[in-house]
Structure 1
Amino acid sequence: MPRKIIIDTDPGQDDAVAILLALASPEDLEVLGITAVAGNIPLALTSLNARKICELAGRPDIRVFAGCDRPLKGELKTAEAVHGQSGLDGAELPEPAMPLQEMHGVDFLIETLRAEPEDTVTLCTLGPLTNVATAFTRAPDIVGRVREIVIMGGAYFEVGNWSPAAEFNILVDPQAADIVFRCGRPLTILPLDVTHKVLITPPRLGAIRALGTVGEVVHGWLDFYERFDLGKYGWEGGPLHDPCVIAYLLKPELFTGRHVNVEVETGSPLTMGMTVADWWGVTDREKNAQFMGGVDADGFFALLTERLGRL
């Protein structure tokens, strides 16, 4: 049976590719719904973009819910410098015909986790963890019903990409990340240490462009999206972050890591949002996460290209 998932996201071009990868894999993944959160861009745009992506995939049946429009504390940080003002700059999509659901995204998370059989729903988080943390705080009874939480966020050896110490998704709402990391359910974390090895090189991008209509759109998105990181890092291609979450669910053998303790810094202005991973086991803190460090990048892009070719 396909694994039941909820995608919590702030699209974002790389979020968009992750959503397309999930929707192209119905034999493996059943998408119960998509909850949008403020992050890369404000909530009004993330909830709009999620619906555009579903229609591009030919899945207007997927329900999209708007969730939290700001972090638990402080002001919202956004990333238009990376994603453009729309969040999906690089290829234009028509206004979606499918409606935004009236229910709040947090209420959808609570209702769905209460209704589905225990230990069957995986939460796939591609943005700040505000929606999930709010749901867990408001309805503690749902925490134990979650099968697994697979998170794109954080870093260890790579440290930060949005501050010297922190990765963007965690930095936007470190208090929410702290709640989720301490929840006691199985966590799998795909940090920058993995995603910075999954580079959008010209041959890989060309193979996606050759797929047809969806490939052309994805090519446009990623060609725009990677320009920021190409200038920042000087690599042969920009990193593709969020699709690693979905690829892990489809082919976990592509990834390697360790079961370690990971905690989030919420007190220091200097290192706010840092994910402190006890990679070498130098403390007695309880292990709480499978923290990935390696990836078969060629295998990842082979999977991504094959699945996008289905759409």
Structure 2
Amino acid sequence: MSRTPIIIDTDPGVDDAAAILLAFASPEIEVLGITAVAGNVPLTATLANACRIVALSGRTEVPVMAGAEGPLLREQVYGKYAAIGAFPEHLVGSGGVTPAPEHAAAFIARTARAAAEAGTPITLCAIGPLTNIALALRLHPDVARGIARIVCMGGAFTALGHRVPWAEFNVFADPHAAGIVFGSGVPLVLFPLDVTMQALFTADHVAALRDGGSAGGRALAALLSEYDRSDPARYGRPGGPLHDAMTVAWLIAPDLFTGRPARVGVEEGGTTPGHTWADFTDPSAAATVMSQVDEAGYIALVVDRIAARAPAAQKETTA
């Protein structure tokens, strides 16, 4: 089986935990590294959470690196649960994984340049603010050539934002970085709130994660139970989304999603920083904006993979 080499740039976060666990549980994917950025919570907490998720997965050979402590230019903003910080020990244990010393942006740049030289470009799964990736793209002109695509959870077009009314959080947290990434010319696959909020995980799905037998499934179920994401007033029915896991799910099962080409941009300042726009009429568009998801198929993929007793990649190597 041909495996897709990826780096996950992340600010864990419950959604991010689901994305990382899904990647580790999928033999179609080769995780080269996990790079942490400040976002949902401060960098010290996102880094600690990333290390805990890697330890939980048993994939301690995968390096975890710290990146940017804050956005390029704007003032720091955090997510809804910023005061909580790192995952509580009773939900996700520490596990003993320690960060590698290399800076996240340097690791992304070095890995991408090596991939360009080898003719095997990598994929970046961007599920936090885009600061690390923007920094990496500016480090050397060869970096962009080594990136096959950036699969990004970010933006909101027809949906209202979930941190401020006009913007999705990852873009709002560092709109200048988003502007660099969106304008880099690297092919972009974008998962805005318009599509991520179409798939809602209910209490039954949380129970299936908990009862499936894997440590990752139990931990994710505990996180989802502790930080209830159900919002019937907004979504019109019970349940809550797992936004970030869609980026990984698309790499595994792209037929679950529908999108169309667009040129995308972001308002970097003014009164609506982080507001994203899309031009679906531009023939030179380098982005694909996802607009629909097979809800049942996506949820089944996430639950079945993460709830399995051992990550699929580990089963393959031990068979």
TM class by shorter-chain length? Answer: over 0.9
Give CA deviations for 1:125-162 in whole Å, capped at 9, x if unaligned: 00000000011112222112211100000011103221
User: Deviation at 1:87?
Assistant: 4.6
User: Deviation at 1:90?
Assistant: 9.3
Give the corresponding residue for 1:268.
270
Q: CA contact under 8 A between 1:5 and 1:31: conserved in structure 2? A: yes
Q: Which amino acid aligns with 1:70?
A: G
User: Deviation at 1:227?
Assistant: 3.9
User: Deviation at 1:96?
Assistant: 3.1
Q: Which amino acid aligns with 1:115?
A: A
Matches for 1:104-119 after TM superposition, within 5 Å: 104-116=103-115, 117-119=118-120
Give the corresponding residue for 1:73.
73
Q: Which amino acid aligns with 2:279?
A: D
**Equivalents in 2 of 1:166, 1:135: separation in Å?**
24
Cα RMSD, aligned residues only: 1.9
User: Deviation at 1:83?
Assistant: 6.4
Matches for 1:219-230 after TM superposition, within 5 Å: 219-227=221-229, 229=231
TM value normalised by structure 1? 0.93
User: Deviation at 1:168?
Assistant: 0.1
User: Deviation at 1:275?
Assistant: 1.0
Give the corresponding residue for 2:100.
101
Q: Does residue 84 of structure 2 align to residue 85 of structure 1?
A: yes
User: Deviation at 1:225?
Assistant: 2.8
- Cα 1:46–1:230 change in 2 (3 A) is farther
User: Deviation at 1:73?
Assistant: 0.7
User: Deviation at 1:71?
Assistant: 0.2
Give the corresponding residue for 1:206.
207
Give the corresponding residue for 2:315.
none
TM value normalised by structure 2? 0.90
Unaligned runs of 5+ in 1: none
Q: Which amino acid aligns with 1:60?
A: T
Q: CA contact under 8 A between 2:56 and 2:95: conserved in structure 1? A: no
User: Deviation at 1:248?
Assistant: 0.5
**Equivalents in 1 of 2:189, 2:86: separation in Å?**
26
Give the corresponding residue for 1:158.
159
Give the corresponding residue for 1:217.
219
- Cα 1:44–1:273 change in 2 (3 A) is same
- What secondary structure does 1:14 align onto? helix
Give the corresponding residue for 2:304.
306
Identity of aligned residues (%): 43
Larger displacement relative to structure 2 (198-207 or 295-304): 198-207
Give the corresponding residue for 1:48.
48
Q: Does residue 139 of structure 2 align to residue 141 of structure 1?
A: no
Give the corresponding residue for 1:238.
240
Q: CA contact under 8 A between 1:3 and 1:120: conserved in structure 2? A: no
**Equivalents in 2 of 1:128, 1:84: separation in Å?**
18
Give the corresponding residue for 1:17.
18
**Equivalents in 2 of 1:217, 1:169: separation in Å?**
24
